[in-house]
Each structure stands twice: as structure tokens, then as C-alpha cells.
Structure 1
């Protein structure tokens, strides 16, 4: 025992014999494992929180422009493709020997692959954070006005100032945490807030129909087909709808299921890590989010039909000028999206770290500087965001499609050498990849 302790001391000094030189690597491995603080439950909460976000507020609008049957078909298809791409990503990470999205891109296609992955992650997560802060910007002033019973234009009900305050007081401290596992508790609370939102949406389905004419004139999008929305016909749910806004449905759904940049960091921090265990985490999270998405879209659509807006809560505010339950729902959604921002920021920071130098050891000054810079940039962006629908549409059609459909398939084909290019799985992946690149 004494000699073993001496050898370990010599190893730390770099003077150990060859048979004991592995102890340093063993200690580093033990240190790394000690940092893996995410249990199965915490990982489910974190991944569910990464999936769930502002996208749930736009799903009723998507159903209103596709119909119930078509929406369900699209929702099932996007959920299955998204979950399958998680399977490909995990398998590629094991075969490629890296748990960093950008490094997989580099191993597969060199610098272009690394840049494609990094740019897609940055665009997607910046869009997601912007959409969350957009909700804070426009919903928090309404909540404060209701609590204070005030209609003046004071600074404390200015959305731009409120976004900055929320970022500085809540988001920044949570974003500075070193590991995602520590956010499991806030993620669980965030999901509970969204469950409460879903419960209230389902109970408000009994709003009288047809809606008042002045409400319709305010809420119906001018680009939608002109229909007599005060007629009883508008109260009948439709199963297939095609109009000028139907094209937004797929990007909104795609945006709602993007969580892929967070998959590998969560996989790395998972206790007793294995691909099967992480896949089970993804299965549970996707199933829970699928059910919540379907119910939120269905109840929101059945309540307002053609009059539903791209942001569901905004539609309720046109019916209730002041309602305690709706006010609590707004606060719950605000809490949920605020607590989601740090989870979404984590992959962007990892991506920036990879671009600055993956071999560098962890540095608190660099960690803090990158975090602050990212939050400053996204706050500046939020000020100029015209509407949340544009975020859903643009990001869902570009970066989200890259992260869900194109990059995992391309990395899988390039890096998984054990399977022949003529295997059924690779033929299916090539077909899926070609279809989405062409579209």
C-alpha cells in the first residue's frame, strides 16, 4: 500500500514507471465522471425543456391552417423523423468517437462540416432564445399592468427594459452554471408551468362561438382567405385546410421539435452513460412533448377556429381584458420560457468554444465572456424582431431542418463504417437526406 502511494505521488510528478503512467489518465477519468451529475429523470426534464418552448404557442395557428387530420399527420411525421435523427446522432457519436456536434462535422467533412454544424446550432438556438425573449417582451408588460392596474407608459412596463432586467437578474446567473445537470430542477419547474398552461387552455374551450365581430376584425390575419367568420360555419372544426398560411405549418412543427444541439451535451453528462439509456431519455421526452403539443394545438384551435393568432396567448387577451386565471397562465408561460433560455444557450456556448479552440481547458473568464456576449447579442436581436411567426418560419425552414434531417443523416453515412452503403438503414437515410436537401 505504501509503495502504491509512492508510485501515485511519483506519477503526479511525472516520474512514475511506465506501468503506473496510466494513473493520471485514470484520475482524469474519475474527475470527469464526478462531473456527470445528470440522472435519468433530470435528463428527461432537461431534454423535455429543450424541446418544449415558445413553439407550443404557435401550434394552434398551424392547426387552424392545415386542419385537424393533416396537422396530426404532420405532427406524427415530424416527431418520428426527429426521434430517428436522435438515434442516428447517438450512434454516430459512438462510432465517430466524439460527443460534440461540431467535432462530428469536422471528422465527417472537415472544416466545412464543422462550420455547417456550428452555424446551424447558432442560428437555431439564437432563434429559439429570441422567440422566448420575444414572449417576455410582449407578455410581461401585460402582467405588470394587470397587477398594478395601470395604463401609463412608465419605464417598468416597457418591454425592452423588462427583457434586459429579466436577462440580467434571472437568465445570466443560470446561464453561468458550468454543467447542464444543475438546470434539471429549473427545467422540471418549467415543464410544470407548461402543463398548467395546457390545463387552462383545455378548460377555456367553452368560449362562445361565433366570436364577436369586433374580435374577428382584430385577430384574423389579413392574408388569410376572407370568410364570414361570424357565421356558424366558422365554428365547425375542419380536417383538411389549404390556404396561403398552410406553408408555415411544417416550419412551425420542425421548430417545435428541435433539441438536437442539446442531445450530445446531455449524453455526456448522463450518469452510467450508454446509448440505450440516452435513447430512452429521448423516447420519454419526445412522447411527453408530443402529447402536450397535440392537446395544446387541438384545444387552442377548437376554441378560436380561424381566429387563432400565431401566438395563442395573444388571442386570449382579445377575449379577456382581465382574467385572474389567464394572468396566472401568462406568468407561468413567462416563467417557463425564461428558465428555458439557459438550457438553449448551453449548446451555443459549446459551439463557440469549439470554434475558439476545442483543446483548451475550461476557463471561467472565457466561459463568462462568451455567455455575456451571447446574451447581449440576443437581447439586441429581440428589439428588432417583427413577429414570432417570422422566427418560427425562418428558423424552422433553415437551421432546424439542417439539425433534424440533413446533418445527422450526413454524419451517419460518413462516419458509421460498420454498415455497408447498401444496408437497408443507410439506403433509407440516403433517401431521406436527398429528399430534404432537394426540398
Structure 2
């Protein structure tokens, strides 16, 4: 962990950008439709800025607590309960993402089958999802880790003002911008691990992601108007050969990305259940059962859920807001990451909090001693917390109620 990385600021920024922009980008046009064009763009910018703040402050707090993983920072700052809630949220978020992968694969391959192989009427959407999952994905899910996949893995990177589904749309936007889980991995890849470099890295990645996402969302909405769908590929003709090549390549990307998302979910769950045995070369029986159970749950959810937009909304509102907004802000505030918060949250003298508020040469703590910036960071932290809580409850309730 202490060995320096090899990435420059731009290289690390590209990795952060790659962790932000994933399959969730295809739902952004309908998110703008649901929120309204103007409100959607403003909310997308707000979510991007909040994500940049939380990604930066997670590492900021990690350096103060001498912990370089999201889960470990949560354990030190929020205790065992917070650690377990975070891990549960991470598992549900990753399983939700895997479910959306299979929904997209099922929708696209079914459309291609209807266009080119209409005689195969038995190949329904559910049969397609199960067939692809069992034949193409399952062989890669039972290694000890993702190392054997290295050679074959694929890296992936109309109301005009205010719509009627703002909070569900915020769930979609949160899902698209949720990258807090990869903060420490990308920070540790920096050749020079300073908070100044990390701030530049997250700023470059965030604004690049905002430009890409805003452009994609606006062009998609303006092109298809009120008829835009959650899977934007469904807005194109089924017999367009160029679009169908893109559809097929996108499916291939999701199929090859599936194991890379599945392994962290499985490993997190087996660790929580205390059944992980990393010293073994092969999976134990209990780990195998855990893998099969998770895989079966994802397949069942994908075959039963036909509304990709609702899946994105629910996963975003119920888990991405917790992982991306609520926990990072709570960790930042609770751990005493600046002098003002330390004085507010504990009755002990500030000096007794060391090393939580200990200054280091690469963390810009001199600025934290200044009252104005401390109050600003403290206020932003509380705003992010209440913003995440509001989107979580209102967004989740509105989706379930609908």
C-alpha cells in the first residue's frame, strides 16, 4: 500500500473519469426528460460537484485516520455498525448494477434476434438473459479473484424547465456519478500522493465527466424528445446495421465487465459473513454457494424487471446516494476532519483528537486552521448529508409508490 503509484495527475484523472462513466450514461437523456431540461442540467452539475467534494474528502479523511480504503475509514469513523451498513449498501449497489447489465443485454439481444432471426420465437427475453448468463458469464464467476480474467477483460469506459419526476431523476444522476467506492484505489495509483494532486485529479475528472454526460444527455433528449427511452438504443431502428454493431459491442462490453463487478460484491459479502478463505487457491463450498446465490438473485431480478429506467432510479436513490453522498459526508463530519467540527462534535480539547487532525506536509491543513474555510467545509458537509438523505427517502418512496 505504501509503494508509490505510477500515474500522473492526468492518468489518475482518466481512471476516475472511467469509474464515473459507465453503463449509467445511457439513462441520462431520460433523466433529463423526467427532471426537465433546465432543472436536469442544473441537477447534473450539482451532483457532479457533490461527487467531486465527497471523492476528495474521503481521501482527505483517510489520510487523517491513516486508513486507505472506504470500508476501513467507515469502520474507524462510524464504528462497526456504520461499517456493516456501508458494506451492505455496496453489495446492493453492485448487485443492482449487475441487474441493469443483464436487463440491457436481454433487451438488446432480443431486439437483434427479432430483426435477424425471427424464426427463433422461443428465444424470449427471459430465455436470452438466462442463456447468456449461464453460457457466457457463469464460467468466469468462480475463480478466487479476477486475475485470470486479465487477458479477456474489457474496460468500459421533454419538459423544458422542470419535470414531474425530479427525485427519481436524481436517483439516476446519482447512479451515473457514484464513484466514491473507487476513490482510494485511484488515489493510491498516483505517483505523488498529495491532496493537492488529488484535488486537481478529481476536478479534471469531474468536469470532463460533466461535459461528456451533459452533451450525451442533451443530444439524446433533443434527438428523441418525449419518446426517449431509458435504454437509448431502443430509440434507434432495429434494422440499422451500424447501430446494431454498436448494440452488439455494448452487450459484449457488459458481459465482460460483469465478472469484474461481481467479484467485489461476492468478496464483500463473504467477508461480512466470515466465510471467506483467501488462503485457499479455490473457492470453498460455502463461497461457491454464496456465488451461486448472488448470481441467481441477479438473474431472477433481471428476468422479472423489464423497466430499465425504474431499475436505475431505484438503485440510484436507494444505494448510490448512501454510498456517494450520505456516508462520505458523515465520515467527513464525524471524524473531526477540521477544527470547527472537532470542537462541535466532541467536548474534549482539540489537541486530544490527534492524529485525526494532525497536520501533514501534503494535506493543506494550514488552510483548515482558518475559521472561514473550516466553516465552509463544515457547511458543505452538512448540505451534502441532508441532500443525500432527502434524495434517498423521497426518491425511494416515490419509486416504490409508483
Query: Does structure 2 retain, via aligned residues, the 8 Å contact 1:254–1:396?
Result: yes
The answer to whether the 8 Å contact 1:45/1:184 transfers is no
User: Computing the radius of gyration over CA atoms, which structure comes out larger, 1 or 2?
Assistant: 1
Q: Which runs of 5+ in 2 are unaligned?
A: 345-373, 392-402
The partner residue of 1:164 within 109, 134, 154 is: 134
Distance 1:177 1:292, change over 3 A: same
Check 1:149–1:293 CA distance in 2 against 1; reply closer, same or farther (3 A cut).
same
Pairwise mapping of residues 34-433 of structure 1 onto structure 2 (< 5 A)? 44=13, 46-148=15-117, 150-154=119-123, 158-169=128-139, 172=141, 176-178=145-147, 186-187=154-155, 190-191=156-157, 239-243=160-164, 245-268=165-188, 273-316=193-236, 320-352=237-269, 354-356=271-273, 363-366=280-283, 369=288, 374-417=294-337, 419-421=339-341, 423-424=374-375, 425-433=377-385
Please state how far the C-alpha of 1:309 moved relative to its aligned partner.
1.8
Matched with 1:195 is none
Q: Shift of the alpha carbon at 1:72?
A: 1.1
Aligned 8 A contact 1:406 1:433 in 2 = yes
Deviates more, 1:333-342 or 1:128-137: 333-342
Provide the rounded CA distance (Å) in 2 between the counterparts of 1:396 and 1:159: 23
Within 1, Cα distance between the matches of 2:275 and 2:83? Answer: 12
Cα offset for 1:400?
A: 1.0
**Equivalent residues of 1:349, 1:371 under 8 A apart:** yes
Q: CA separation of 1:135/1:417 partners in 2, compared to 1, >3 Å: closer, same or farther? A: closer
User: Would the aligned equivalents of 1:47 and 1:285 in 2 still touch at CA under 8 Å?
Assistant: yes
Change (3 A) 1:155 1:406: closer
Choose 390-399 or 332-341, whichever is displaced more.
332-341
Of 366-375 and 342-351, the range deviating more from structure 2:
366-375
What runs of 5+ residues in structure 1 fail to find an aligned partner? 1-28, 192-236
* Contact 1:43–1:184 under 8 Å retained in 2: no
Distance 1:386 1:148, change over 3 A: closer
Shift of 1:52: 2.2
Instruction: From the superposition, tell whether residues 164 and 250 of structure 1 become closer, same or farther in structure 2 (CA, over 3 Å).
Output: same
Task: Report how far residue 345 of structure 1 moved.
Answer: 3.2
Output the CA distance in 2 between the equivalents of 1:37 and 1:276.
17
CA distance in 2, matches of 1:359, 1:272: 34
Q: TM-score, normalised by structure 1?
A: 0.70
RMSD value, Cα: 3.5
SS of aligned partner of 2:224: helix
Maintained 8 Å contact 1:88/1:408:
yes
| In 2: Cα distance, 1:179 partner to 1:255 partner | 29
Cα shift at 1:365? 2.9
Q: How many corresponding residue pairs?
A: 355
TM-score normalized with structure 2 length: 0.75
